Amino acid sequence: MSDYLNTNAVRATEKAMSFAYDRHVRLLDNVANIDRPGHISTDISFRDYISSLSTAPQPVPMQLVQTSPSHIPELERESKTSFPVTQYKDASLEDEMTRLMETSLFFSSMVHVHNLNTGLIKTAITEGRK
């Protein structure tokens, strides 16, 4: 079970959802401060995100600890992500809202992929029975 949760597909899905969350927070800050003089909007480019995945060091395998053999161990999560940030001055509300919608759709698709992956675990546990 822990081997499945530590696969590249699960880690990539987690990283993609972290990217979408971080981008969403930045874009919400941009919308909140769109009319503030001197505000410099920030964004995380998807292209830069993909580049950061290919150059990121491989994670070190975790040591899992269980208090009981019947418990599924809790995995440690990355506490802070660091994606490349782009700054721009000429932001409009329409552009920011479009970026927010793109990010929301991307996050929803990653949640769907994650649910498909965990559905495989459910099928394995129940041996295909309902």
Q: Tell me the per-residue pLDDT of 39-48, one tens digit each, with 9 for 90 and over.
A: 889 888 877 7
In this predicted structure, what is the pLDDT of residue 77?
47
In this predicted structure, what is the pLDDT of residue 54?
64
**Residue 76 belongs to some domain of the structure:** no
In this predicted structure, what is the pLDDT of residue 28?
93
**Residue 119 belongs to some domain of the structure:** yes
**Residue 113 belongs to some domain of the structure:** yes
Which tokens is 52 given?
């950061």
**Residue 77 belongs to some domain of the structure:** no
In this predicted structure, what is the pLDDT of residue 78?
47
- pTM here is 0.65
pLDDT profile of the chain (130 residues), mean per 10: 65 86 92 88 81 60 63 52 74 89 92 86 76
For residue 61, the enclosing domain spans 2-70+83-126
In this predicted structure, what is the pLDDT of residue 37?
86
In this predicted structure, what is the pLDDT of residue 104?
93
**Residue 43 belongs to some domain of the structure:** yes
2 touches 106 (CB < 8 A):
no
Q: Other CB atoms closer than 10 Å to residue 44's CB: what's the count?
A: 23
- The number of distinct structural domains making up the chain is 1
Where helices occur in the chain by DSSP H, the ranges are: 2-5, 8-32, 46-55, 93-126
In this predicted structure, what is the pLDDT of residue 108?
93
**Residue 95 belongs to some domain of the structure:** yes
**Residue 89 belongs to some domain of the structure:** yes
**Residue 78 belongs to some domain of the structure:** no
